[in-house]
Structure 1
Amino acid sequence: MSVYGVKVVTLYKNKLVIVKQFREGKKRFTYELPGGRLEHNEDLREGALRELSEETGLVAGSLIELGTFSIPKSPVIITLFFTNDIIEVQKQQLDKDEDIHVLYVDAAEAFAHIGSGKWQDTRLGFGLILARSNGLI
């Protein structure tokens, strides 16, 4: 059974928005794009807007769809979006088990961390490559 998720490549004040969080299963901090799984009957755009707002406090006015992909041997199907249209900044709305730190980094720094292997999240790498190939970052 497939599980649907969303991730959002976000530019805010000319910086990429990256979320740093401790992942129990990996026993380390990860660096990722804001996003997560869809809730019951939620469409992709609604889920992306909700996840961005909950994890970062950033409210986007619009999204550009970048593409959908799956990782072999994983039931998760991810749709990637891009926004640089932040219309409001609120407080994070994290679940009790979430401890997410929001980082604002230059695109060159993010690509350097991905290239060196310091940041290993596949969805982060795909998202940044798709955003750059579409002339968005």
Structure 2
Amino acid sequence: MGLYLCVFEEDEELEGVEVGAYADFGAFRDHVTRELEPAGKVGSRFPTLIMHSDCDGEWSAAECERLRDELATIAKELKARPAVAFTSEWQRNVAKSIGLVPQNAFESFIDVDGEFLIERLQGLAEFAFKRQAPILFQ
């Protein structure tokens, strides 16, 4: 089952990111927790990203501002860390098909289209914040 994060206005979808499987999103958050947060303090630096359940729900418009800021820090820090292996076969296949060889940890997390996941999430959070709309988990 896949995770789709999206912004709606009434019944119209305005923007969205197809993350991949819930396990892929979990692997991304686990990596952030393990590599960028103090040991034993899960969610201490990035509570909006890490502490939110990944099941049906939403990040409110107010949370989107915090999420955007957290993702900017995460992006900066992961760009300075070595690449890690893709966690799913579909990621390896997509990366191979587009010739992607990650140069750092930031580039090691992609969406189903092979775009950098953090960058896509940053754009979605910025879009939602500007529209004052929530990001829905579907």
- Range into which the TM-score falls when normalised by the shorter chain: under 0.3
Compute the TM-score of the two structures, normalised by the length of structure 1.
0.28
Compute the TM-score of the two structures, normalised by the length of structure 2.
0.28
Q: Greater share of strand residues, 1 or 2?
A: 1
Q: Greater share of helix residues, 1 or 2?
A: 2
